[in-house]
Amino acid sequence: EIVLTQSPGTLSLSPGERATLTCRASESVSSGNFAWLQQKPGQPPSLLIFATSTRATGIPDRFSGSGSGTEFTLTISRLEPEDFAVYYCQQYGDSPTITFGQGTRLDIK
Amino acid sequence: EVKLVESGGAVARPGGSLRLACAASGFKFDDYSMNWVRQAPGKGLEWVSLVSWHGATTYYADSVRGRFTVSRDNGENSLHLQMNALRPEDTALYYCVRGYCSDLQCYFDKWGQGTLVTVSS
């Protein structure tokens, strides 16, 4: 099973700042099968980015994803108040084996 | 509008059974694989099970294999999860999730609101 490790666990920033979240995989992940999800309090997760770098419908361009192999990054260029949430990375492997990272909590500083 | 509405969550005793359901609407149900993903209170996400678009192929996380059974009824646009031999660690919010796969990419694109399962004596 591919283990995804997200860092940091918690990130405290102010609106307008840049956020960089990292997800490291225990073995190589297909870029087409790597995604980022956002979860706000009391809500289900929602798709943010799929295939490493493609924004889901309606996601603003301040969100961007990059990476390959075992290291992936989610960048939020300028934080808006509604961006403070928990972010999960996800890989969809062969067999299939589907795993999530443990999450990064993005808090308002 | 795509809608996934879960039901069937309840309090169950250890060793007991529950059957979850997910009603899907707003899309061609049999074009998609479907999944169950759970989230224990205050914890992260754990994939539980996947059923292929036709229902003939199923996959399970090691933590539930042999105890849970996923199925679908494409005529009724519904997804089910039969949960047997429940354990306290099965306590979680269970989400019904649509999966999209093409030749080049796979991801989970739509999530329901979830149904809460509590396993306690």
DSSP letters of chain A? ---EEEE-SEEEE-TTS-EEEEEEEEEEE-GGGEEEEEE-TTS--EEEEETTTEEPTT--TTEEEEEEEEEEEEEESS--GGG-SEEEEEEE-SSS-EEE---EEEEE-
Which chain A residues have a beta carbon less than 8 Å from that of B112?
44
B27 contact A CB<8A: no
Q: Could you read off the pLDDT of A38-58 as tens digits, one per residue?
A: 999 999 999 999 999 999 999
Which of B97, B108, B116 to probe the A interface (max A CBs under 10 A)?
A: B108
C-alpha distance from A16 to closest chain B C-alpha (Å): 27
pLDDT at B102: 85
Whether the CB-CB separation of A6 and A20 falls below 8 Å is answered with no
Does the distance separating the beta carbons of A37 and B45 come in below 8 Å? yes
pLDDT per residue as tens, chain B (121 positions): 999 999 999 999 999 999 999 999 999 999 999 999 999 999 999 999 999 999 999 999 999 999 999 999 999 999 999 999 999 999 999 999 999 988 888 899 999 999 999 999 9
Does the distance separating the beta carbons of B47 and A47 come in below 8 Å? no
Which residue shows structure tokens 């991801």?
B107
pLDDT at B104: 84
In the predicted model, is pLDDT for residue A76 greater than 80? yes
pLDDT at A68: 96
What is the band of A97 on the pLDDT scale with cuts at 50, 70, 90?
confident
C-alpha distance from B116 to closest chain A C-alpha (Å): 12
B109 contact A CB<8A: yes
Question: Which residue in chain B is spatially nearest to A102 when comparing CA positions?
Answer: B44
Question: Which residue in chain A is spatially nearest to B103 when comparing CA positions?
Answer: A32
In the predicted model, is pLDDT for residue A96 greater than 90? no
In the predicted model, is pLDDT for residue A95 greater than 80? no
pLDDT at A93: 83
Query: Which of A1 and B95 is assigned the larger pLDDT?
Result: B95
Which chain A residues have a beta carbon less than 8 Å from that of B47?
98-100
Q: Quick one: what percent of chain A has pLDDT higher than 90?
A: 94
pLDDT at B70: 98
Can you tell me the mean pLDDT for A31-44? 96
Q: Could you read off the pLDDT of A10-24 as tens digits, one per residue?
A: 999 999 999 999 999
In chain B, which among 54-93 make CB contacts under 8 A with chain A? 59, 62
Which chain A residues have a beta carbon less than 8 Å from that of B42?
none
pLDDT at B105: 87
